[in-house]
Amino acid sequence: MTEVTVYTREDCHLCAEAIGTIEEVADDAGTEVDLTLVDVDEAGLADEYGERVPYVLVDGRPAFKFRVDPDELRACLEGS
């Protein structure tokens, strides 16, 4: 199982888009992901991340900022 963490915030349309892309690519690839959402405002990380959300980690490694490229994500998932 691949761990995917998305640093997000409330009412973030790019975050919703990124999460949808992650779920769709994982489903299409038949890969099971453990998707964790971290609200940077609630977790006290707003100073660290500012407006740089969504910020996506795949298996603990930085992978995407702002937008998730489906082809790059597929490659990440296949390499896990």
Residue 49: predicted pLDDT: 87
What the chain holds in terms of domains, given with CATH numbers, is 2-79 (3.40.30.10)
Residue 80: predicted pLDDT: 63
Residue 78: predicted pLDDT: 85
**For the segment 41-58, what is each residue's pLDDT rounded down to a tens digit?**
999 999 998 889 999 999
The chain-wide mean pLDDT, for the chain, equals 94
**Whether residue 64 has pLDDT greater than 80:** yes
67: enclosing H helix or E strand? none
What one-character-per-residue DSSP string does 5-64 give?
EEEE-TT-HHHHHHHHHHHHHHHHHT--EEEEEEETTTTT-HHHHTT--SEEEETTEEEE
Residue 35: predicted pLDDT: 98
